[in-house]
A and B are shown apart, each in its own frame.
Chain A
Amino acid sequence: MDEIIKTENLTKHYGNVHAVEGVSLNVKKGEIYGFLGLNGAGKTTTIRMLLGMIRPFSGISFIYSKRVDAGSYDLWKNVGYLVEVPYSYPELTVRENLEIIRRLRHISDAKSVDAIIDKLRLLPYQERRAGHLSLGNAQRLGLAKALMHNPDILILDEPANGLDPVGIVEIRELLRNLAFNNGVTIFISSHILGEISKFATRIGIIHEGRLIQEVNTNQLDKLCRKRLLLNAVDKKAVIAILVKNGYSVDFIDDNTLEIKSDRAINHPEEIATMLVHAGLPPTLLKVEEEDLESYFLRTISTDRGAK
């Protein structure tokens, strides 16, 4: 029962297009699983299959060990979801849109609409027609619909779309609080690793329909490459002395020298000492860590190369 969301070999083809190909993943209770991929990588198709909206070509998905199927509507009692851009009935107010969801989700407490309006800071807009909302507030309304019934599972497709930086932080904190303090299991897709890594506990990278890597967020640091950047007045002499001492040196675009060996990265002071003693003091000496986006792009380009 620890596995709340599970997929086995989930596959979806549209003609010759392999939208999703053999995706197997599982999400444990209280986990925030970041589902990362470029646009068109297969994130939304996977989410739609998880929610029983489209039928897999092959493979199965389970929620609470129950097989997902369009007819098993009881499954959705404890699931909140948001797929792609959230839309609401434009001629109805924010409150009326939420009231519809409250009734369809059989929430007997009428005050739950007030509570969620308050939680998502929609109070000033509650009587505004949904068609007149800004993109950010429409997104909040979508999230309000997904969260109103206090679900145990949240399946969210790019929920930060359209939100301003303050909104992004608010939603991140809200989701983090739900997962860590209320044990809510969250499956969340994104195309920005930097954003998702701030609160996901585990990340799965999907590329061209295939799940190419799963990694715990606390291991990301280890996976991101480090390098030592170096510059000096007499670069040729510096390269000669470094090579003589067993280092492999490369030039990078702005004429800076780059050393990738662990020895250099872990002990840059040895290089500094060596160069100073040789009368070639460095003008730049810096250990730089690859950022998350570079890591993500490198991962998917490696996958492309492997194919």
Chain B
Amino acid sequence: MKSISAALWSEILKVRRSKIFWITILVFLFIPFMMGLLMFIQKYPEIASKLGMIGTKASMLRFGKADWLTYLGLLTQTVAGIGLIGFGFVTSWVFGREYSDHTAKDMLALPVSRSLIVLSKFIVVAIWCILLTFIFFVFGLIIGGMIHISGWSYVMALHYAYRFTATSMLTILLCTPVGFFASYGRGYLPPVGFVIFTLIVAQFSGLVGLGPYFPWAIPGLYSVAGSAGNSQLAVVSYIILFLISVLGLIGTVAWWRFADQY
């Protein structure tokens, strides 16, 4: 208990002091702002056009009505994509920086097991990502309120809060393989490359209808499933995602424990 709290304390300190922490918060504030802007253009195309904003292109986007139902759906879909990149980036930093800054060696011969160090890193990644998710959703609601989107209902908001949270959690679960690639590749580049690779394959798997079986496509599919029960996902989809997550965790712990550390 003493070890895990010490490891968590030090991981949280490193995150708090990093610039990257504040940059990710800014990014996760910026995206709902952009979503709000799209809704604004949808709602008031003539004002937007007068203001010289995006105009024709935005009105061509045609993502439905400018109401809360569309807006909350859009936010939920966005978090699946942005989460894969953003949470992947967060994980790459938490693990990769120890190699880029050559500080990993200071954590290898301590009276704290390496598994606990890895575990505390993943806990901090999860806390960081949950915080980003929360900021994203709450700021999204505030922006939506500010531009007076129509069709608000608490029941619908609660429903989407649930879907949004579930989408985010599924995305966060996919951080563990990124941690493995950061440790295996000893830096930022391999895990970031891995994240980009998964994004590309996720798009492709969607095209060929294998999305429900490709873990990195599952959060996106979950987010668009809607309330009508028209989900492409099956129980096995969730099992695959959990298995990948567990495998990523075990792989990272095993790498720290058994691989040669330079």
What residues of chain A have their CB less than 8 Å away from a CB belonging to chain B?
A: 48, 51-55, 70-71, 73-77, 79, 81, 83-85, 87-92, 96, 99-101, 103-106, 145
Contacts and interface: CB of A to CB of B under 8 A. Distances in A.
B111 A48 contact: no
Given A51-B108, A79-B109, 6 more contacts: A51-B109, A73-B109, A89-B101, A92-B14, A100-B10, A106-B3
Contact of B101 (A87, A96, A101): A87
Is chain A's interface secondary structure helix, strand, loop, or mixed overall?
Answer: loop
Given A91-B19, A106-B2, A106-B3, A73 B110 contact: yes
B13 A70 contact: no
Contacts of B2: 106
A105 B10 CA distance: 12
Contacts of A89: 14, 17, 101, 103
A21 to B, nearest CB: 17
Nearest to A90: B101
B257 A71 contact: yes
Contacts of B10: 100, 103-104
16 contacts: A51-B109, A52-B108, A53-B105, A53-B109, A73-B113, A74-B111, A76-B109, A76-B110, A85-B102, A91-B19, A100-B14, A101-B106, A103-B6, A104-B3, A106-B3, A145-B106
A81 B108 CA distance: 10
Interface string B220-262: 0000000000000000000000000000000000000110111
A92 B17 contact: yes
B112 interface: yes
A50 to B, nearest CB: 9
B43 interface: no
A54 B111 contact: no
**What 10 A-B pairs have minimum CB-CB distances, sorted nearest first?**
A103-B6, A87-B102, A54-B260, A100-B10, A76-B109, A51-B109, A53-B261, A77-B111, A91-B17, A73-B113
A75 B106 CA distance: 15
B148 interface: no
A76 B103 CA distance: 17
Interface of B: 2-3, 6-7, 9-10, 13-14, 17-19, 101-103, 105-114, 257-258, 260-262
Contacts of A77: 111
B102 A100 contact: no
B110 A104 contact: yes
Contacts of A106: 2-3, 6, 111
Give the most central of A81, A103, A106: most B CB within 10 Å: A103
A100 B105 CA distance: 14
Given A54-B262, A55-B260, A106-B2, A87 B103 contact: yes
Contact of A88 (B9, B103, B111): B103
Contact of B114 (A70, A84, A92, A99): A70
A247 to B, nearest CB: 55
Nearest to A50: B109
Contacts of A90: 101
Contacts of A99: 13
B260 A104 contact: no
Contacts of B113: 71, 73
B111 A76 contact: yes
A70 B111 contact: no
A54 B105 CA distance: 11
B111 to A, nearest CB: 5
Contacts of A91: 14, 17-19
Contacts of A76: 109-111
